[in-house]
Structure 1
Amino acid sequence: MKVVKQSGHYVDFDREKLRKSMLRSGAEATLVDNVVQKISESIYDGISTRKIYKLAFSLLKKESSSHAARYNLKAALQMLGPAGFFFEKFIARLFERQGYQAEVNCLLQGTCVTHEIDVVVQKNEITAMIECKFHATPLAVTDVKVPMYILSRFNDIKPLQHKVFGHSHSITACILVTNNRFTTDALTFGTCSGLTLLSWDYPLHENIRHLIDREGLYPITCLTTLTVVEKEKVLIQGVILVSDLPNQSHVLETIGLSPQRIKNVLQEIRELTKT
C-alpha cells in the first residue's frame, strides 16, 4: 500500500510508525491498536499522509480529547503564528520551566549595530540569546543560511556587557530554535560553530516534543475543545499555555464561550495536564 507524503513522494504505508506516533499521545496500547486497525481497513492506495493523520486524530478524539491534543502537538506549534510572536513567548515559558529567567524582545547593542533578540535567558553562569525561526507550514525547514546569520549577530553582541535581569552580563551562549526541523547542513554548521540547536525533533532526547511532554507545557493551540478562531482570541488575551487557563478561565467568558463549553475546555485541560 503506497501513501503520498506532503512532499509529494510515495512511500509504503508504515503501520508501526503510525502506531508509535499515537502511543506518544499517552493513549493505551489497546486503543491505539484498535485505531490503527480501523485506519488500515479504510485507507487506499495513494491516500495522503495528511488524510491518515486527520483520520487518526478524529478516531482518538472520539475516545479522549486529551490524547488527541497530544497527537496534535506539532500542528499546534504551527498555530502560534502567523509571525511567530506567540512561539517566542512559548519558548520563553519553556525555558522558565527549566529554571531560567527569560525576557522576550530585548534590544542589545552590538559592536556594530543594535539587535532585537527574540528571547534572552539566564541560569547560573549562563546568559544566552535565543533566536526563534518560526514556520507556519509543515514542509518548511530551517536551512544553513539561518545559523550563519545568527552566528554573525552573536559575534557582534558577545564582546559587550548588556543590562539584562537587572545586572550587566556578557552573552555567553546562542541558541537557535525552530518549530519544524533543520537541514543537515544547518545542523552541521550550527554545531561546528558552537551554537545550541533546538527543533521539534533535535536533539534526540531533549527536543521540543520531549521537553513539552516532560514539563507538561502544552500550548493552548493543542486543545480540541476550542475552535481555531477561539484559540487566536485566547492568545491575544495573553494566555499561551494550557496550564494557565484554569486560573484565567474568565478569558473563556470574555471570548464568548457558554458555561457548558467552558466546562468542557477545563475538563480537557485536567485530563491533558494530569500526571
Structure 2
Amino acid sequence: MKIVKHSGDIVDFNPEKLKNSLLKSGAGKQEVETILQAIKSQVYDGISTKQIYKMAFALLKKTANSHAARYNLREAIRLLGPAGFFFEKYIARLFASEHYATVTNLTLQGKCVSHEIDVLVKKNHAIAMVECKYHVGRDAASDVKVPMYILSRFNDLKERQHAIFDKKDSILKCWIVTNNRFTVDAIDFAKCSGLNLLSWNYPEDNNLKTKNDNRYLYPVTCLTTLSISEKEKLLILDVILVKEIIHNSDCLEKIGLSPNRIKNVLKEASELCRYI
C-alpha cells in the first residue's frame, strides 16, 4: 500500500515504523498494538502521512494526554514560530539545561560589520554563538549555503572581543540549530569547517528529539490540554518549557484558566515530565 508524505513523495506504508513512533510516545505495548490495528483498518492507498498522524494522535490522546503530547513533539517545536523568536528562547533553555550560561538577541560589532546573534552561550570559559534556523514547513532543509554564510559571520566576530558575559569576551565556537534537518552537504561542510550542528535528527544520538526525551525539555506547545491561544499567552509570559509550569502554576491563573483546567494541565505536564 502506498502513502503520500508531506513532501509529496509516494512511499510504501511501513507499519513497523509507525509502531516504533507510537512506542516512543510512552504508550504501552498493548495500547500501541490496539492503535496500530485501528489505523491499519482505516489506511487506504494514497492516504497522506498527515492523515495517519492525525489518527494516531487522536487515538493516543484517548489513552493519555501525555502520550499524545510526546508524540506531537516535532509539531510542537514548529509551533514555536512563525517568526522563530520563541524557538530561539527554547534553544537557549536547551543549552541552559546543559549548564551553559545563556543570553539571547544581542547585536555585536565584528571586524567588518555588526551582526545580530540569536543566542550566545558560555561553559568552561568558552563562549559560542548559536544561530537558529527556524522552518515553518516540515520538509524544508538547511542546505550548504547556511553554514557557509554563518561561517563568514563567525569569522568576522571572532576577530574582536565583546562585552557579553564579561567586558572582554572572545567567541571561540559556533553552533547552527534548526527545527528540521540539514542536507548532507551542509553537514559535510560544517564538519570540515569546525562548526557544530544540531537538528531534529542530527547528531544521531544527541539531537533535538533525544535531548527532549532525555531531559524532559518539552515546549509548552506540546500540551494537549491548552488551546493555541493559551499556549501563545504562556510563551509571551516567557514560559517556554512544560516543566516551568510545574514549578510555577501561577502562570496558568494569569492566562485565565479555571482551577479545574489548571488541575488537568498540571496532570498532563507532570505525566509528560514524569514528576509523579
Deviates more, 1:247-256 or 1:140-149: 247-256
Q: How far apart are 1:255 and its partner, in Å?
A: 2.0
CA distance in structure 2 between the partners assigned to 1:273 and 1:71 by the alignment: 13
Counterpart of 2:239 in 1: which secondary structure?
coil
CA distance in structure 2 between the partners assigned to 1:171 and 1:218 by the alignment: 29
Counterpart of 2:141 in 1: which secondary structure?
coil
Query: In the alignment, which residue of structure 1 is the partner of 2:195?
Result: 195
Counterpart of 2:66 in 1: which secondary structure?
helix
CA distance in structure 2 between the partners assigned to 1:191 and 1:87 by the alignment: 24
Share of identical aligned residues, percent? 58
CA distance in structure 2 between the partners assigned to 1:136 and 1:5 by the alignment: 16
Query: In the alignment, which residue of structure 1 is the partner of 2:166?
Result: 166
CA distance in structure 1 between the partners assigned to 2:85 and 2:47 by the alignment: 35
CA distance in structure 2 between the partners assigned to 1:16 and 1:168 by the alignment: 54
CA distance in structure 1 between the partners assigned to 2:246 and 2:202 by the alignment: 31
Letter in 2 for 1:158: K
Q: How far apart are 1:167 and its partner, in Å?
A: 4.2
Residues 16-64 of structure 1 show CA distances to partners (whole Å, capped at 9, x for unaligned) of 0001111111221221111111101111111100000010010000001
Report runs of 4+ in structure 1 exceeding 4 Å deviation: none
Query: In the alignment, which residue of structure 1 is the partner of 2:236?
Result: 236
Matched, 1:28 2:35: no
Within 5 A, what are the aligned runs for 1:43-192? 43-192=43-192
TM-score normalised by the chain length of structure 2: 0.97
Letter in 1 for 2:80: L
Query: In the alignment, which residue of structure 2 is the partner of 1:14?
Result: 14
Unaligned runs of 5+ in 1: none
Aligned residues: 275
Counterpart of 1:172 in 2: which secondary structure?
strand
Deviates more, 1:134-143 or 1:54-63: 134-143
Letter in 1 for 2:152: S
Q: How far apart are 1:164 and its partner, in Å?
A: 1.8
CA distance in structure 1 between the partners assigned to 2:274 and 2:251 by the alignment: 22
CA distance in structure 2 between the partners assigned to 1:269 and 1:170 by the alignment: 39
CA RMSD of superposed structures (Å): 1.1
Letter in 1 for 2:29: A
CA distance in structure 2 between the partners assigned to 1:31 and 1:126 by the alignment: 47
Q: How far apart are 1:251 and its partner, in Å?
A: 2.3
TM-score normalised by the chain length of structure 1: 0.97
